[in-house]
């Protein structure tokens, strides 16, 4: 009698897995960890050397394609293709819950983490695109402007095109719920399970684990560094492992509860706390100065968007563009498989326009005020001498910026410190559980509700990877590996866009043909004419 006989949880797990994707995805991850455990210096040199080569040769490509994704999504929001839908069913979630889950599953943990810190870096070292003296009032709007550019429209664009590419072919062409669904226009939905699709899905598994494990390391370091900076508590390797394990337990519980009971509720909670922390910072911080600085930074962001988008070493950026903008584009590209798959999972019944707007419009409307208020407060307080944030950041790293900023606010400073830590943790939990859900779906035949054993396996593996690499000092290497994995997904996302263009032209053309047929039939019977540019979904 085989393990798959019967109806138990083990049988369900064995029956649902896709052996090639599951086996190779887990094996590559474990081999990577083993390489760093046995010879961390050699492994790091190899991985980092490949990262440097990719950035030196292809930085222009990443800048161009990411800008192209933004323009494509802009056309979907305002153009006629936006009327097309992902399936014929009604949406599963309200729009607010849908947006909250999308935001929490994406870069929200990074947004909270970097909110108080990034503008300070651009304030102390002005981006070479601008001729302004560092650490002066002239550097302040530039510093905030670049944070808006790095964290709003463009970063979210690759998630959104991947989500649209997967969701449209899953719900309209019956492709399996896996990243390889974007290959449908090339190989057909019935052939997505071929070798090319398996290669894409295996890469997606490794990229997702790398991205999430690195984020676990970042958030863990924020706790550990904060304990040391704020309260003088030093944790050794055992303490580090306990912090990572605690976070893993939290997101595993949320994961097992499922999308509706776990991820949705926690995402809604996140957005409430996010808004409260942002509002309190504006209220108790230098309110008028924040609004003035934010207005000027927004003007620069809009006016210089294309110049910042295409700024490379050929225009004087040197290593700066690679270290900041290109890095920021490769990082979400590495996350795009799981974020796109999760977006597809929750987008059934939505119109193309709704998904595109939620992906880059609504997310930017939440992100821009955060960086204006929190990042703006940091540079204003640093410039006026109200707080010395740069000093501790230079000594301890960017992880302490939130402790210094929120601790310096009058009346509510200490309370906001704890709110900040809660928010970073819960945002990370929703990113981690949605990514683990995505990996579970990728390693099955496209199951929308993978078994609990499958989910727990990948959650534990991600926590183990993060713990081991934090202890042996390999988080930087894992970050480099995630960047390397992001490079091929720039191509996969581009394939998704080209496939959607081809499909949308055909689909919208057929809608127009149906409407013209209705128009001719109606006018021949003397009925009211219907606009040929409207789709049936508009009624």
Q: What digits encode the pLDDT tens for the residues 517-537? A: 544 444 444 443 333 333 333
User: Whole-angstrom Cα distance, residue 365 to residue 89?
Assistant: 28
What integer is the mean pLDDT of 233-257?
A: 72
DSSP tag of 388: -
The phi, psi pair for 193, rounded to 5°, reads -80, 5
Query: What tokens were used for 464?
Result: 């183990």
Q: Is residue 499 within 8 Å of residue 185, measured between CB atoms?
A: yes
Cβ neighbours of residue 417 closer than 8 Å, sequence gap 6 or more:
230, 402, 403, 406, 407
- Predicted model pTM: 0.87
Domains, the chain, ordered by start:
20-509 (1.20.1740)
Q: What digits encode the pLDDT tens for the residues 31-59? A: 877 887 788 788 778 888 888 888 888 99
pLDDT at 17 (0 to 100): 84
Give per-residue burial for 420-454: e unless 16+ CB within 10 Å, then b: bbebbbbbbbbbbbbbbbbbbbbbbebbeebbbbb
Q: Is residue 423 within 8 Å of residue 274, measured between CB atoms?
A: yes
Q: Is residue 432 within 8 Å of residue 104, measured between CB atoms?
A: no
pLDDT at 534 (0 to 100): 34
pLDDT at 342 (0 to 100): 87
pLDDT at 529 (0 to 100): 36
Residue 165: in which H helix or E strand, if any? helix 153-173
pLDDT at 135 (0 to 100): 94
For residue 124, pLDDT over 60 is answered with: yes
Indicate the pLDDT class of residue 512, thresholds 50, 70 and 90.
low
Query: Helices 327-346 and 40-78 meet at what angle, rounded to 10?
Result: 60
What's the helix, strand, coil split of the chain in %, to 5?
80, 0, 20
Q: Is 351 helix (H, G, I), strand (E, B) or coil?
A: strand
Q: Is 411 left (phi over 0), alpha (psi -120 to 50) or beta?
A: left
Query: What tokens were used for 457?
Result: 């396996």
Of 199-203, 263-267, 329-333, the poorest mean pLDDT is in 263-267
Cβ neighbours of residue 528 closer than 8 Å, sequence gap 6 or more:
522
Q: Over the chain, what is the mean pLDDT? A: 83
Query: What tokens were used for 347?
Result: 């987008």
% of the chain at pLDDT higher than 90 = 38
Alpha helix ranges (H) inside 349-443: 352-356, 363-370, 376-384, 390-396, 401-408, 413-442
Residue 192: in which H helix or E strand, if any? none
Q: Is 138 helix (H, G, I), strand (E, B) or coil?
A: coil
Burial level of 185, CB count in 10 A (0-12/13-18/19+)?
buried
Q: Is 463 helix (H, G, I), strand (E, B) or coil?
A: helix
CB atoms within 10 A of CB 300: 18
Higher-confidence position of 414 and 510 = 414
Question: What CA dihedral angle connects 238, 241, 242 and 245, to 10 degrees?
Answer: -160
Q: What digits encode the pLDDT tens for the residues 240-250? A: 777 777 777 77
Give per-residue burial for 145-183: e unless 16+ CB within 10 Å, then b: bbbbbbbbbbbbbbbbbbbbbbbbbbbbeebbbbbbbbb
User: Whole-angstrom Cα distance, residue 159 to residue 169?
Assistant: 16
What integer is the mean pLDDT of 5-16?
A: 70
Q: Is residue 277 within 8 Å of residue 373, measured between CB atoms?
A: no
């Amino acid at each position: 009698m085989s393990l798959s006989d019967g109806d138990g949880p083990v049988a369900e797990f064995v029956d649902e897995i896709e052996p090639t994707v599951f086996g190779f995805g887990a094996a590559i991850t474990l081999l990577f960890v083993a390489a760093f455990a046995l010879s961390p210096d050699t492994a790091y040199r190899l991985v980092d050397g490949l990262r440097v080569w990719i950035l030196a040769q292809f930085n222009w490509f990443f800048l161009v394609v990411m800008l192209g994704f933004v323009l494509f999504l802009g056309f979907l929001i305002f153009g006629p293709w936006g009327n097309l839908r992902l399936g014929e069913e009604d949406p599963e979630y309200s729009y607010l819950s849908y947006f909250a889950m999308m935001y929490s599953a994406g870069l929200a943990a990074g947004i909270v983490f970097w909110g108080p810190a990034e503008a300070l870096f651009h304030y102390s070292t002005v981006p070479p695109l601008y001729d302004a003296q560092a650490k002066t009032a002239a550097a302040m709007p530039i510093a905030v402007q670049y944070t808006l550019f790095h964290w709003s429209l463009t970063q979210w664009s690759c998630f959104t095109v991947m989500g649209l590419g997967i969701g449209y072919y899953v719900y309209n062409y019956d492709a399996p719920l896996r990243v390889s669904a974007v290959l449908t226009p090339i190989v057909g939905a019935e052939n997505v399970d071929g070798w090319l699709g398996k290669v894409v899905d295996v890469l997606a598994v490794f990229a997702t684990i790398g991205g999430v494990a690195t984020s676990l390391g970042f958030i863990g370091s924020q706790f550990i560094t904060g304990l040391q900076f704020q309260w003088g508590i030093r944790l050794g390797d055992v303490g580090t492992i306990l912090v990572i394990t605690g976070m893993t337990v939290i997101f595993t519980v949320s994961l097992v509860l499922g999308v509706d009971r776990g991820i949705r509720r926690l995402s809604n909670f996140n957005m409430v706390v996010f808004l409260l922390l942002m509002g309190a910072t504006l209220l108790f911080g230098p309110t008028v100065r924040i609004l003035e600085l934010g207005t000027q930074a927004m003007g620069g962001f809009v006016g210089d968007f294309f110049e910042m988008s295409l700024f490379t070493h050929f225009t004087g950026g040197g290593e700066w563009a690679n270290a900041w903008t290109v890095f920021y584009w490769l990082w979400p590209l590495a996350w795009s498989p799981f974020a796109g798959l999760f977006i597809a999972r929750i987008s059934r019944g939505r119109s193309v326009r709704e998904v595109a707007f939620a992906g880059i419009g609504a997310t930017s409307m939440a992100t821009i005020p955060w960086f204006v208020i929190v990042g703006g407060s940091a540079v204003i307080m640093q410039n006026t001498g109200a707080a010395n944030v740069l000093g501790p950041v230079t000594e301890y790293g960017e992880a302490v910026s939130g402790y210094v900023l929120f601790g310096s606010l009058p009346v509510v400073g200490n309370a906001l410190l704890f709110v900040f830590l809660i928010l970073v943790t819960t945002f990370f939990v929703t990113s981690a559980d949605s990514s683990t859900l995505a990996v579970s779906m990728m390693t099955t035949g496209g199951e929308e509700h993978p078994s609990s054993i499958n989910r727990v396996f990948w959650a534990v593996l991600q926590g183990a990877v993060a713990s081991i690499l934090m202890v042996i000092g390999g988080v930087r290497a894992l970050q480099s590996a995630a960047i390397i994995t992001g490079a091929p997904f720039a191509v996969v996302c581009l394939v998704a866009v080209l496939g959607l263009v081809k499909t949308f032209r055909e689909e919208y053309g057929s809608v127009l043909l149906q409407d013209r047929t209705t128009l001719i039939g109606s006018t021949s019977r003397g009925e009211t004419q219907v606009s040929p540019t409207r789709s049936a979904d508009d009624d």
